[in-house]
Amino acid sequence: MYDIIKISNGLRVVLEEIDYVNSVSVGLWVKNGSRNENKDNSGISHFIEHMFFKGTEKRNAKEIAQSIEDVGGQINAFTAKEATCYYVKILDTHLDLALDVISDMIFNSKFDEEEIEKEKGVVIEEINMNEDSPEDVLIELHSKAIWGDDPIALPILGNENTVDSFTKEILLDYISSRYIPENCVLSIAGKFNKNDILKLVEDYFGDWKFKGKNLINYSAPKILTNHLFKEKQIEQLHISLGLTGIELGSDDLYPLLFLNNILGGGASSILFQKIREELGRCYSIYSYLSALNNTGVVSIYTGLNPKYSTEVVALIKEELEKFTKIDISNDRIIKGKEQLKGSYILGLESTSSRMFNNGKSVLFLDRINEPEVILKKIDTINKDRIYSVMDRTFKKGILNSAYVGEDVDLNLMKNIIENTIYPFNNKPSTLI
């Protein structure tokens, strides 16, 4: 059972009561992430997330973690491009404690200047660790290729110069403009007493005040046609190819997920079977969706020996071209819809996954994606919708790319992507 309630100060609370479990997950979602930043304060949202764990007026950093872990619970947070979330999973008998700790962190954190300086070193080490991961470097590089100078392409962690520039005043000013009730959602899923929950929420969050409104409106960035390479002395070459996707909240995401599963969504997909299993050209290859506010992309990733790079990029382009001409059978549509349903339902098997699903949905769409509704939307997938989405996405071809490793001829890669290397058959391929 779901409820969306707005308390006196404008904070939205989304509740999902699950009475057959003995746990509850609580998450405070803030509509603020790296997309809300600029080149001068890049990484500030992530840094603030760190600082909320560094001590309050009544708990030091150890006590924040210990208070939850001592009763068998888990506490954590994450910062993404468009949101930050602080969350606790705990036994239902300790719901009061979860709300107490999260509210204490948000409202009473000290932002001690000595702790700020220490945390700068921690975050800079996190940036360095990220730099040592070619997959992470590739994601950031491809974001630049896709969106250029739009804030959506900024790295979540920021960079050493911006992190080093943060002061207590800068951090608190940013919080006061972003961490406001109307810009946040409190998501609670699991076992709780419905009669008591709203009083608890009012007790811990009802006095949340703000000086003014700074509600978030996102741009609609254009998908660009850039090709970028970053040299790293590593054994493999990591490649990411970008295509037009679908924005967050669109019902066309379901046909796109259906198509993506066929192309590169798993071990039975076209790309995996052709390039890994049949030709043995790589260990890892897959495609995935990124759906954001006012924009969306499909990415194809592979990691391989650099000597196969031009062959594999050409093969991916060839398989993509064939894919846009496939004749999808009714039997394949039925199986594909069952696959989507199974993945979706299995992904909601815990209170934390439901809390995440509900919180993100209400934060960005102001509605709950109820499972019954989602399953009905999947059931409406048909050939007309599939081919309509195919035309808007995969049929436009590869628009941009990024490469991390050695021995890349960027001009050759660009030529392969932008020009026909293989003679494609214009007739539909075999029925699948």
Catalytic residue, chosen from 49, 82, 115, 140, is 49
Contacts by residues 264-271 (CB-CB < 8 Å, ≥ 24 positions apart): 264/288, 264/300, 270/319, 270/323, 271/300, 271/316, 271/319
Is the alpha carbon torsion for 365, 368, 374, 377 positive or negative? Answer: negative
> 291 forms bridges with which residues in the sheet?
296
- HEC secondary structure over the chain: CEEEEECCCCCEEEEEECCCCCEEEEEEEECCCHHHCCCCCCCHHHHHHHHCCCEECCCEHHHHHHHHHCCCCEEEEEECCCCEEEEEEEEHHHHHHHHHHHHHHHHHECCCHHHHHHHHHHHHHHHHHHHCCHHHHHHHHHHHHHHCCCHHHCCCCCCHHHHHHCCHHHHHHHHHHHCCHHHEEEEEEECCCHHHHHHHHHHHHCCCCCCCCCCCCCCCCCCCCCEEEEECCCCCEEEEEEEECCCCCCCCHHHHHHHHHHHHCCCCCHHHHHHHHHCCCCCEEEEEEEEECCEEEEEEEEEECHHHHHHHHHHHHHHHHHHCCCCCCHHHHHHHHHHHHHHHHHCCCCHHHHHHHHHHHHHHHCCCCCHHHHHHHHHCCCHHHHHHHHHHCHHHCCCEEEEEECCCCHHHHHHHHHCCCCCCCCCCCCCC
> 303 forms bridges with which residues in the sheet?
238, 284
Over the range 124-151, which residues count as b (16 or more CB within 10 Å of their CB) and which as e? bebbeebeeebebbbbbbbbbbbbeebb
Question: Helices 95-108 & 194-205, crossing angle to 10 degrees?
Answer: 20
- d(CA 146, CA 141) in angstroms, rounded, equals 9
Establish whether 119 is a catalytic residue.
no
Looking at the annotation, which residues are catalytic? Answer: 49
